Amino acid sequence: MYRLRNWLISDNGVSEEDMLQNGNRLMTGNGYLGYRGTVSEAEPSWMPAVIVSGLYDRQGDLWREPVNAPDCLYAKLFVRDEPLMASGENVLSHEQTLDFRYGIYSRETSWTVDGVSVTLHAERITDICNVHRLCMKYAISADAPVTITLKQGINCAVHDLNGPHLGNFRLDKDEKNGLLVLDADTLEKAVPLSVACTVDVAGDVVCGTEVSGEGAFHVYTIKADKDKRFDFFVYGAVYSGADTAEDCGVKARETALSSLAEGWESILSGHRKKWDEIWLKGDVIIEGDDYAQHALRYSLYHLHSIAPRHAKSLSVPARGLSGQTYKGAVFWDTEMFISPYFLCTEPDLVARFIRYRIHTLPGAKRKASEYGYRGAFYAWESQESGDDACSLFNVTDVFTGRPVRTYFRDKQIHISADIVHAIRTYINVTGDTEILKEGAMEVILECARFFLSYLYYSPEHDRYELLDVTGPDEYHERVNNNAFTNRIVFSVFETVQTCVDLLKKQDGGFIEKLFAELSFDTDMAFMHEVMKKFYLPQPDSGNVIEQFDHYFKLEDCSLDTVKSRLCDPREYWGGANGVAGNTQIIKQADVVLMLVLFGNEYSDEIKRANLAYYEPRTEHGSSLSNCMYAQLSCASGNSEWAYPFFIKTAEIDITGTSKQFAGGIYIGGTHPAANGGAWMTAVQGFCGFSMNDGKISCKPRLPEKWKRVVFSVVYNGEHIEVTVTKDGYSLCMK
């Protein structure tokens, strides 16, 4: 069972299910590597993983997914050839803990063997200073004489969802330095990956080496006894051809050896210092509500542990670096749910996300043309090239085991508009128009062009419409005039106009040249025509906005009724045969999301009417949903109603109770979008914080329990501390 206190989260579970959950709950990461919170002797079925950001591979015709590197911190104890496992029957006590202030994972396990108790205390970090580095302290003690064997090294027996992904293994040993280096190549594109490790051990131990199909290991014989402790310090390194043009093996070797020379204490102290700096900019203090405080900080920890500070152009996958779920792909989650926090605290990270979209523009153009459109249709599930990793059959029917045709890839056209929305918000807040010249202006124009070629002119209504789309509510596919999609696409056209005007003032030559290169003049003229007659669904007489054409005509039954129709708890609710498809039950915030994003265009009355209508009809089957209901509720004056939605969002990776399967496909992992949603709700929702039109403001509407909230933002390059109470707010330069 897990326990949360201050900056610590612990769990003492040993079942396979616990191991799986703790892999997410206790994970450490540094934006480049994600190391799951599994014990170091983990069986492959417990899903240990070292996920390398930006490196993907495909096995045969299975789904492309991120590469799980061989584990260089692998370690397993034996007494008389019997392994000591966290799940063993001879376990006396076991606990794993994550210190999420500093990203330090630790575990303490005691076993009894023939009346002798053996204790292991291990600590490890995914170094936030040198992102290629993994380090572990592994301390063994016993209360009586016993001979213990430790097998430590590079373990290749990793569990892949759709693997394996590596081949052409080459091993290099450097006995003098106790170094093991394993080089391998990915199967699909032969991208090199190298892993190295070396060990520093104080005390009287005998060391041998073991090389097998499972990997390369040092094998230590330890004569343990009362009052003796054996401290092993393991220094590992990972490099891939996706992040360096240099020889990965050489780099991994150098990093492992330089870490050995530097030593655990110094590395740990640098790592802590960097985390202190991160929290200085990124922390949020909530006074009066300890649980909310810990849960929010824990959410922010997860965001920081995947933030790609090491790369100029990289984004974050929907399940962070917690595994291979969702193909390690980048979704709209980044732009709509994760970017707002970083935009206020470390805007450089948002620039990196935008550059990733600039860099993947060719993939988006290929996708548009594949479907017969012009411009840029971004991947629903994007990997390193921007080609869509989303399969046409993205869920499995639980009854037949057959793939189900889904339309996420083909019809969630709002993805291109979400990206433009994020660019526009970035420019509004930072004033950094250079990014437009780096390629973001081209992204905006190509996205606009895509929508201009996608839309439909309805002669009957004399208006432009968007037909055959899927909105955020994925249970209703291929609908017409999804209110959210129409509004956000309209905002793409508005953004074109705003950014063109801005650049004309700053550097007219640039925009003229770009228009000429892209032959955009005709599109621009057409866009102006379209804007005059673009259809934006409006509230009805009861102030409710219909989610899409004829949504109100669908069966209006309760969530419980729909649930009662399920024949299997893992059944997929959407698509042609799903239980929700022909009803008004929706998966996640859709109209509500639109009202949050474009809040200043709608009255509180409209906001309240839509909340009241849609919430009982929402499953919240996506982790992206609760935070939007919470924010809209705050914006329309009801913080108490919002509070439980906030808690559900902030605790999602603590409780681990979110959906683990979508129609037979494993979707577990961490939830960065919800982590970002927790921040949005606390800061933008409860504090009513906004940074718009050159000024910062707050409209406090704190929940009853909250006395004071303190957070930092970067504005015009300055760090500002914002303090919000029930009665007002103050700003202070840091």
Q: Does the active-site annotation cover 529?
A: no
**Only segment of 3-11, 43-51, 91-99, 326-334 that touches ligand IFM (CB under 6 A):** 326-334
**Only segment of 127-135, 329-337, 397-405, 430-438 that touches ligand IFM (CB under 6 A):** 329-337
306 vs 702, which CB is nearer to ligand IFM?
A: 306
Distance of closest approach, residue 574 Cβ to ligand IFM, in angstroms: 10
From residue 291, how far is each of 26, 178, 285, 520, 522 by CA, in Å?
Answer: 18, 46, 12, 53, 56
314 vs 722, which CB is nearer to ligand IFM?
A: 314
* Residues 43 to 82 in contact with ligand IFM, rule: CB under 6 A: none
Distance of closest approach, residue 340 Cβ to ligand IFM, in angstroms: 15
The runs of H, that is alpha helices, within 283-360 are 290-304, 333, 339-345, 347-359
Reduced to 3 states (helix: H, G, I; strand: E, B; else coil), residue 282 is helix
C-alpha atoms less than 13 angstroms from C-alpha of 72 in its C-beta half-sphere:
34
Please name the helix (run of DSSP H) or strand (run of DSSP E) that holds residue 593, with its range, or none: helix 591-597
How many residues belong to the site for ligand IFM (CB under 6 A)?
10
Distance of closest approach, residue 449 Cβ to ligand IFM, in angstroms: 24
Among 585, 624, 632, 635, binds ligand IFM (CB under 6 A): 624
* C-beta separation of 219 from 151 below 8 A: yes
- Closest by CA position to 59, among listed 158, 183, 189: 189
Q: How far apart are CA 663 and CA 578, in angstroms?
A: 10
- Closest by CA position to 354, among listed 472, 437, 241, 282: 437
183 vs 477, which CB is nearer to ligand IFM?
A: 477
Q: What is the largest CA-CA distance in the chain?
A: 89
* C-beta separation of 96 from 39 below 8 A: yes
Among 123, 289, 333, 523, binds ligand IFM (CB under 6 A): 333
- Closest by CA position to 483, among listed 436, 545, 403, 559: 545
Decide if residue 232 touches ligand IFM (CB under 6 A).
no
* Residues 661 to 680 in contact with ligand IFM, rule: CB under 6 A: 673
Decide if residue 323 touches ligand IFM (CB under 6 A).
no
* C-beta separation of 194 from 69 below 8 A: no
Decide if residue 318 touches ligand IFM (CB under 6 A).
yes
109 vs 618, which CB is nearer to ligand IFM?
A: 618
- Annotate each residue in 574-613 with x if it binds ligand IFM (CB under 6 A) or - if it does not, as one string: ----------------------------------------
Decide if residue 622 touches ligand IFM (CB under 6 A).
yes
The one catalytic residue in 65, 381, 474, 619 is 474
Decide if residue 712 touches ligand IFM (CB under 6 A).
no
- What dihedral do alpha carbons 649, 652, 654, 657 form, nearest 10°? 140
Decide if residue 353 touches ligand IFM (CB under 6 A).
no
Decide if residue 484 touches ligand IFM (CB under 6 A).
no
361 vs 589, which CB is nearer to ligand IFM?
A: 589
**Only segment of 259-267, 330-338, 358-366, 572-580 that touches ligand IFM (CB under 6 A):** 330-338
Residue corresponding to tokens 């930072």: 430
Distance of closest approach, residue 568 Cβ to ligand IFM, in angstroms: 19
Q: How far apart are CA 475 and CA 554, in angstroms?
A: 13
- Closest by CA position to 352, among listed 367, 366, 338: 338
335 vs 523, which CB is nearer to ligand IFM?
A: 335
Distance of closest approach, residue 146 Cβ to ligand IFM, in angstroms: 48
Decide if residue 331 touches ligand IFM (CB under 6 A).
yes
51 vs 75, which CB is nearer to ligand IFM?
A: 51
- Closest by CA position to 51, among listed 251, 317, 304, 275: 317
340: preceding bond cis by omega (within 30 degrees): no
Distance of closest approach, residue 623 Cβ to ligand IFM, in angstroms: 6
For 540, the token pair is 């009805």
- Closest by CA position to 678, among listed 291, 353, 274: 291
Q: How far apart are CA 364 and CA 457, in angstroms?
A: 24
Distance of closest approach, residue 68 Cβ to ligand IFM, in angstroms: 20
Among 275, 332, 535, 573, binds ligand IFM (CB under 6 A): 332
For 185, the token pair is 């190549």
Decide if residue 472 touches ligand IFM (CB under 6 A).
yes
Q: How far is CA 481 from the centre of its chain?
A: 29
**Only segment of 43-51, 186-194, 327-335, 717-725 that touches ligand IFM (CB under 6 A):** 327-335
For 10, the token pair is 């612990």
* Catalytic positions: 474
Residues near ligand IFM, by CB under 6 A:
318, 326, 331-333, 472, 474, 622, 624, 673
